[in-house]
Structure 1
Amino acid sequence: MSERLAAAVAATRHQKEWFAQTAARARDGEQIAIVNADVPHEILRALDIPYVVTQWWSSIIAAKQVGPAAMERVAARGLPDFSLQYDAMPLGEQDLPADLRPWGGLPAPAFAIAERSGDVTQKIFEQWGARPGTEAFLLSRTAADPVPSRWWELVPHEWETAFGTDRLDLLQAEIEELIGWLEERTGRRLDRERLAEILRLGNEHAEWNRRTRDLIAEARPTPVSVTDTMPAVMVPQWHRGTQWAVDAARSLHDEVAERIARRHAVCPTERRRLMWIGRGLWSDLAMYQRFQEEHGAVFVWSMYLAIAADGYRRYGEDPIRTLAARFVGITDQLYVPPWSSEWYLKEARSHDVDGVVHLVADDTPGGVFITEALEAAGIPVLEIRANNADARSTGAARIPERIDEFLRTRVPGRA
């Protein structure tokens, strides 16, 4: 077993301490928010409103093995427990017995904010808005047309070209509406100079992630496990716009560089390099390391570091419009072809992968096109349909067994 990254350990410890402080503030009467990953968190940071990200909280619920119990509570409310569990699980957590709630449980939020990435997400956040003491705010989801090639080269500076004026106009107007909505309810006023500084720190953070991603792409053998890079990258993402997040990203980069310099190997017998497309399997992170000893198979890539490297850098004069540019195309970049399929193929080639495991959830459009693009380039793909946070779903999908068969039958080993 490879030694753990200090950056991953530090990030996990920081997040647990941060959550305890945030929960204490909420229980003392401070207003907090629950938000999905695709809304402009930077507005909340600039207004000093603590927020918890739905997907992160679901990952904690799943890791603590209470995901099925939380979904049973969702079903008990007369709601479906088989769709968008990654978004719905925190609703069920609210109704769990105190002794089952991770880290003492999420206090009732004052605000629930989401992007309408689908009908179900909207309905889930409407349920939050129906809870006593919680109000919901929903942002629009728009589609890309036309679609630019090699978006990752355009979006840092030429985002107006990449996304189109109409899309940016709409989201910019809705962000302004969100600001007014929050100001009215908190009695605070947005400091736009502070917001600009938050965006600057976010760009610095993303530049460190880009350097780290590039180091790992070029390294042979693989110096770090995705089980470490996932928390080391994603915890700072939820603190984007702070000096702590920048320092955490720099620490991760420096630790990866040091490992490469001494030729540290996650798997000294590395013979197969794998890419994991889709959300992290939070209820069973150990799964990613199960195939190293027998197959010499190492997961060298996950979307978390890669999208942190390519997806968030935005440079511009107007902080609100620049923030709109940061979020208007996040779903396109990850899931909507040809944005997504072109990017995943670029990443597969730069990381020199031998095979891809593609976890497709029920709310991720265009999965078949991603698989087809990789297969057409000669990269074998194992497509698995399951929800990453719901142990019932991943158990039924027999993920380890199918990966083992995939490695035996479709992914030839290197010398």
Structure 2
Amino acid sequence: MSARLESATAATAYQRQWFAALREQDGPLALVNADAPQEIFRTMGIPYVVNQWWASIVAAKRRTQDYLGYLRERGYPDYIEQYSSTSLASVFDPDPASAPWGGLPRPSIVLAETTGDASRKIFDVWDEQPGITFYPLESAAENDVPARWWELMPGRWEEAIGADRLDLLVGELEGLIRFLEQTTGAVFSESRFREVMALVNEQQEWNRRTRDLIARARPCPLAVTDSIPSVMVPQWHRGTEWARDAARRFHDEVAERVRAGGAVCRDERARLMWIGRGLWFDLDFYRRFQESHGAVFVWSMYLAIAADGYLRYGDDPLRALAARFAAFSDQLYTPPWSAEWYVKEARLHGVDGVVHLVSDDPRGSYFTTRALEAAGIPVLELHADNVDARGADPAAITREMSDWLESRVLRTARSTRAVPTPTPPPGTAPPPPA
């Protein structure tokens, strides 16, 4: 089954239309990091562009090197946090009309969590640009790490994250709301905010069901390059009815493929997991080994974190939003939070091997690889930046991947795999016995 998912095509078309309309708008515009509380802007009707989404578009259009060059010309490093600095470079584009999708409109507000020295400096440069204000959020940590955090997050998030971290972020979100009201004239409505939060939870419930469908399906019914836009474009529109309905359409289309016995690769011999950000400069990589080795990528973090990382129920919506993002980076990058989750997801999906993209800001990559190998799951580490192709040799990566598949994965891949039974989402009945 080679046809693209209709949900993926529809999501991409919607994003193009939305972005074209956005570029024609007047008034305040925010640029926000992927792990920032975008729901505040949604509630207040302030449009925003996601920083890393724009970097992925630039990379997919093979324009990253042009943008890194704009940084070099101004004395800024072009080899640190490229995924975050591409949007900054867009400000210096001498011909923005020739940029992908017509170019990134100039924001008036930039929001990001300060996760490191380099990241903070990138956003400080944003703050130096005329008419642009950077609003920083702290990055807090906690010594106590909850076991099986993915089971706690929907309703017991205070227990999982800790009151101190939540108190800090709630205070910062209250400050963000005051700042936005004073600088934009927009008004924050708590009733509207509750509607946004409820829509987000509905959306993620559909994503969780879709994740579980794919985990059980043998063979895999869709390409991971279809699942990424089908889940992530709606994620950038969280809190809207369109996003909720798009997540439901994605689920229904996957369910229909499963019922019909659809397969992205009929000769599926190995199920693979991709850990790390999308390899935006070479999306063909994810299908390159299907015909030669029967190796199918069945997992990426995008759908999985939507399923396990976003659901937050509770009577205090602002605190629930803080709980969504206070430990977001921990879930993906900080061991043992991240390492235990990746092992859980690898087992849930019955993968035979893991390809782990390790960039210069690995954020716990050593512990992730070690945990997976200790669980008996072979890991191939690819050392490259996900948007900057300068350090990647496609021929060498292909050889390395082929050798790993032949020597470590295909020899031990199970011809018959037990199909896991995922934990049902909150508020749903468990599946009937087989």
SS in 2 for 1:282: coil
Measured after TM superposition, the shift of residue 391 of structure 1 is 2.0
1:209 aligned partner, one-letter code: N
Q: Deviations over 1:79-98 (max 9, x none)?
A: 11111100001111232323
Higher mean C-alpha deviation, range 291-300 or range 357-366: 357-366
Count of matched residue positions in the alignment of Structure 1 and Structure 2? 412
Measured after TM superposition, the shift of residue 399 of structure 1 is 3.0
- Tell me the equivalent position of 1:189: 187
For normalisation by structure 1, the TM-score amounts to 0.97
Partner Cα separation in structure 1 for residue 142 and residue 254 of structure 2:
35
SS in 1 for 2:354: strand
Partner Cα separation in structure 2 for residue 397 and residue 278 of structure 1:
21
Does the aligned pair in 1 maintain the 2:215–2:348 contact within 8 Å?
Answer: yes
Does the aligned pair in 2 maintain the 1:224–1:256 contact within 8 Å?
Answer: yes
Instruction: Determine whether 1:80 maps to 2:77.
Output: yes
- Tell me the equivalent position of 1:30: 27
Q: Deviations over 1:140-175 (max 9, x none)?
A: 001132000000000110010000000000000000
Partner Cα separation in structure 2 for residue 189 and residue 140 of structure 1:
24
Question: In the TM superposition, what are the counterparts of 1:106-255 in structure 2 within 5 Å?
Answer: 106-255=104-253
Does the aligned pair in 2 maintain the 1:118–1:363 contact within 8 Å?
Answer: no
- Tell me the equivalent position of 2:57: 60
Does the aligned pair in 1 maintain the 2:287–2:296 contact within 8 Å?
Answer: yes
Unaligned runs of 5+ in 2: 416-434
With over 3 angstroms needed to count, the CA separation of the structure-2 counterparts of 1:182 and 1:117, relative to structure 1, is same
Q: Deviations over 1:377-397 (max 9, x none)?
A: 111101122210112233479
Q: Percent identity?
A: 57
Question: In the TM superposition, what are the counterparts of 1:264-413 in structure 2 within 5 Å?
Answer: 264-395=262-393, 398-413=396-411
Q: Deviations over 1:65-116 (max 9, x none)?
A: 1011111111111111111100001111232323541111111100011001
SS in 2 for 1:136: strand
Q: Deviations over 1:350-386 (max 9, x none)?
A: 1010110000222341110000000011111011222
Partner Cα separation in structure 1 for residue 395 and residue 65 of structure 2:
15
- Tell me the equivalent position of 1:7: 7
Instruction: Determine whether 1:50 maps to 2:47.
Output: yes
Partner Cα separation in structure 1 for residue 100 and residue 247 of structure 2:
26
Partner Cα separation in structure 1 for residue 394 and residue 268 of structure 2:
29
SS in 2 for 1:10: helix
Partner Cα separation in structure 2 for residue 400 and residue 31 of structure 1:
45
Higher mean C-alpha deviation, range 368-377 or range 404-413: 404-413
1:183 aligned partner, one-letter code: E
2:141 aligned partner, one-letter code: A
Does the aligned pair in 1 maintain the 2:90–2:96 contact within 8 Å?
Answer: no
Give me the CA root mean square deviation: 1.3
Q: Deviations over 1:225-250 (max 9, x none)?
A: 10000011100000001100000000
Q: Deviations over 1:315-343 (max 9, x none)?
A: 11111111100100110000101100000
Partner Cα separation in structure 2 for residue 242 and residue 219 of structure 1:
29
For normalisation by structure 2, the TM-score amounts to 0.93
With over 3 angstroms needed to count, the CA separation of the structure-2 counterparts of 1:284 and 1:396, relative to structure 1, is closer
